Amino acid sequence: MGDLQNVKDPKSPARARLAQLFDEGKFQEFGAYIQEKDAQAAVVTAFGYVNGDPVYAFAQDQSIHNGAVGEAQAAKISKVFTLAAKTGAPVIGVYDSNGAFMDGSAASLNAYSLILKRTSQLSGVVPVISLVLGVCAGSAAIAAAAADFVVMTEDAELFLTPAFEKGAGSAAAAAANGTAAAVEADEAAAIAKVRALVNLMPVNNMATVPCMEFDAPAAASGSDLEGYVASIADGGSVVALYEGFGGAAYTALATVAGTTVGIAATNKTDAKLTEDDCDKLARFMRTCDAFSIPVITLVDTLGFGGSVETELKGAVKAVTRLAGSYAEATTAKIAVVTGMAAGPLFVALAGKSSNSDFAYALEGTCIAPMAPESAVEFLWHDRLKGADDLNAKRKALAKEYAETVASADKAAALGVVDDVIGAADLRATVTAALSMLEGKRVTNLPKKHSNFPF
């Protein structure tokens, strides 16, 4: 049996990591004497406070059997999830294990099944954050990826099978395919990111969103995404997520007047949205909705970057998942058109009938069923006839169309948006809308879940 005199060795990597995670390095460990094979189970389970909020955590311990997972470790982790469900407190899992005990038996299958079951049961009930600081492989990777957020260090690994061609299994790959919400340079930075996320998330799905002291927003840096986010969010509050995935879309948690919000945008670049961008925005909306975090969506896009190849692959499914995620969400939803809002993506992200409680447009923006250049070809083709410079004429007519038929004022007159505002009024308008939507209550038709196309 293991040395029972050293079961709470403070020098173990797992306890050192938990000390960095919890306030003042203090936590209450439980289950320390549970044995696995010839030593203590290779996981430390504990509770304590993170930014003053109660949190449960487990940390796999590489110093014991390389962190090997067995039935005893699974039982300890299962108890963390069970207690979190009973008390409504977040869970943070620190993953660093080379896998299950390789003894040829099927015991590890029961162990992983139990962990996966508890992870699934707690999804959407309390925030679950996976912190991958070493190897996270096979079934453990499934459990880690099922969390609300996955945070990794640059040298960490997350994979189903050990096939490391072209960086497969690396943190960079996990960021690029949308598994990791954030990748940090080292453990200290990764733990700090997790603490920031805990600070912004409600403690459970029945709690109100956090409300805290805040700094005034930074001065807007211009009429671009960075400037709009800076003008809306409280100073220093923005935590960008999934930056390596879906390059044309933007997602972040932040505070506005001290209250947590989600900020989603389609104008991170001038590129059209891809399937990855749609999945990124849909996943983010579902995460925010699970915990009733209001979502502010900044819309500026020419639509989906479709092609024969993407259509053959079923690109419509990605947009359908996005539209369905927005329509199904009952949290407060505010949309602001900051540039071009053409076609189905306006309907999906800002349509007043189902996808936004308030929809606004900045002065000078364009809202239309199709991009102005396309609209000119369909609606004003006769005006193109006889032009000496067809391209110049087309651009001139597109500009005219955007400023008249598709103008923000015209959209407001038709009831498509609620108001047309100046950029200087953006924060005040959004803050007022958030305040009025605090008591939003929606009851959906009874059903088990929506059946989105995957």
Top-confidence residue, 312 or 413: 413
Top-confidence residue, 415 or 109: 415
Dist. CA 218–CA 236, nearest whole Å: 8
Dist. CA 137–CA 224, nearest whole Å: 40
Q: What is the pLDDT of residue 167?
A: 77
Please say if the pLDDT value at position 282 is more than 60: yes
Length of the chain equals 454
CB 364 within 8 A of CB 408: yes
Top-confidence residue, 227 or 306: 227
Q: What is the pLDDT of residue 307?
A: 72
Q: What is the pLDDT of residue 156?
A: 97
Task: Report, at the CATH architecture level, how domain 4-200 is classified.
Answer: Alpha-Beta Complex (3.90)
Q: Residue 371, Cβ neighbours under 10 Å: how many?
A: 20
Q: What is the pLDDT of residue 22?
A: 98
Dist. CA 121–CA 113, nearest whole Å: 12
Mean pLDDT of 438-442: 91
Q: What is the pLDDT of residue 388?
A: 85
Going by pLDDT thresholds of 50, 70 and 90, the confidence category of residue 2 is: very low
Range name among 237-241, 355-359, 368-372 with the lowest pLDDT average: 368-372
Q: Where are the domains of the chain?
A: 4-200, 225-364+407-436
pLDDT averaged over every residue in the chain: 91
Nearest to 67 by CA among 157, 154, 149: 157
Going by pLDDT thresholds of 50, 70 and 90, the confidence category of residue 163 is: low
Top-confidence residue, 327 or 309: 327
Dist. CA 334–CA 428, nearest whole Å: 13
Q: In Å, how far from its chain's centre is CA 309?
A: 28
Going by pLDDT thresholds of 50, 70 and 90, the confidence category of residue 1 is: very low
Take residue 259 and report the two structure tokens written for it. 């209250």
Dist. CA 413–CA 419, nearest whole Å: 9
Please say if the pLDDT value at position 32 is more than 60: yes
Please say if the pLDDT value at position 6 is more than 90: no
Q: What is the pLDDT of residue 219?
A: 66
Q: What is the pLDDT of residue 438?
A: 94
Mean pLDDT of 320-330: 94
Rg (alpha carbons) of the chain, rounded to whole number: 25
Residue 90 DSSP code: -
Please say if the pLDDT value at position 275 is more than 70: yes
The partner residues of 57 in beta bridges, in order of sequence, read 46, 92
Is domain 225-364+407-436 given the CATH code 3.90.226.10 in the classification?
yes
> At 449, phi and psi to the nearest 5?
-170, 165
Going by pLDDT thresholds of 50, 70 and 90, the confidence category of residue 385 is: confident
| pTM as predicted | 0.94
Top-confidence residue, 153 or 168: 153
Characterise 66 by phi-psi region: left (phi > 0), alpha (psi -120 to 50), beta (else).
left
Please say if the pLDDT value at position 140 is more than 60: yes
Range name among 90-99, 167-176, 304-313 with the lowest pLDDT average: 304-313
CB 116 within 8 A of CB 157: no
Q: Do domains 4-200 and 225-364+407-436 have the same CATH topology?
A: yes
**pLDDT tens digits, residue range 345-359?**
899 999 876 689 999
Mean pLDDT of 51-64: 96
